[in-house]
Chains A and B, each alone.
Chain A
């Protein structure tokens, strides 16, 4: 109550409260509040002169290490790492909020591969086509480069990449008489059921079926490996998800749960639930990103050792030949509003350089976006997942590229999750998506 009494005291000098006194009183309150604000909320200007770089949580510490290394050699400016939510959706929301609020203060953005089109369409990203010519682009994997293209221009540099992989317990499969990982989904079902039963393991297979971005990746993979598509590869403005192939893909996903190869709870699984299921000796197969390999045998997951697991491309439907997995990973983008664009570019070049990518691969098992590093003997030795998953990485496909991707994603999340938990039939799901995605694509054109 100190403010109240002070204001009261200043007023009591006059005999009666007139309007001017009143204004003074409320003015004092506001001024006090503003003063408090200016001292307490220097947020916008914090670390002015520093380049601000945003990225989700990095528990390996290599990110800060690289930033420190850069700061040591950089004389003119320093870089600050600003930690953002790990969940891609939450991170995206924060960024978009900031852009809508006029650009914000982040200069360099570590960005999910699905974001560039959306940001670029709004004019929020710096076009780096001149800085990053075709000749330089060719030193990167084509898939990640593709995610950065919007209307013929490129908006960033690929940083590290991800692809959905099939993890299998080589030791358990061998005991049950299988020498090779499954090539088709029906083989996976059969092997998963038998091995789980033989070896007393809870589940045949686990994957990410929750209603979130990862669920979209999983759903797309079932559709692609069955020969279906979301958008027509020849004409991305055409939605082609209402096809027998796509429906068959989602039927495979649903069947895996209904037949008991995967637990019903995969409808709630994200990566967080997948790790302890597979590495806690509770599943024969798992679909996950490359990072999980490095967790095997660590103190958090002591039950399953790296030598017990193998990695392979995702299975295909009967009669299909084209391997496919969802392309994940992260790019480095530059805020169009940044007043340190040259410095930003310098930092992006540093972070995406062969040397930095190599370091991040070795210490955080994040896969490089430069094909040359896949021949690096040290990386091949330290990260067997690179060798085993190379085939899958080469065949990684990007999710639909659209300036309205977040709307598409919301629709797909809902329908795919409905399929996994048995609420929606695959046919209804592809029909519903055909309709809603078409609307979104039309709204965007």
Chain B
């Protein structure tokens, strides 16, 4: 039976780097008013250390199921990858209570930096059975208004409403490895 003293109140100390193979950074947005359209980024880096949680994402690695849409996402209508090749996040404060994690930080997309509140869970650390490394799990999400970052493109639907929602859910499922 747990006691109050067992409840975690901070993330582990040390320096942790993301294991990209076992992590994902993705997004979902309402399409045609009703459906959740999902996409993600293949190339990213995340570090957790005494500075907090820092993440960068290569915009050019965006991936959705439709190649033509990939090109549009990279264009000035959306991310403008030519001029803004990376997204970034830096935490300002991390609160932990048991498995629950709340992070205040600053998210930069398309050259615009705005405060965001992230919620999620932490699990581990556990020891990798083969290489002996310590592994920490973080599942994080937040919802942003893409238009606040200058991603304004939309198209009206003939039946009313717009093709793409403004609220975008960002999701990061991270496996972090402690540096030896």
Partners in one complex: no
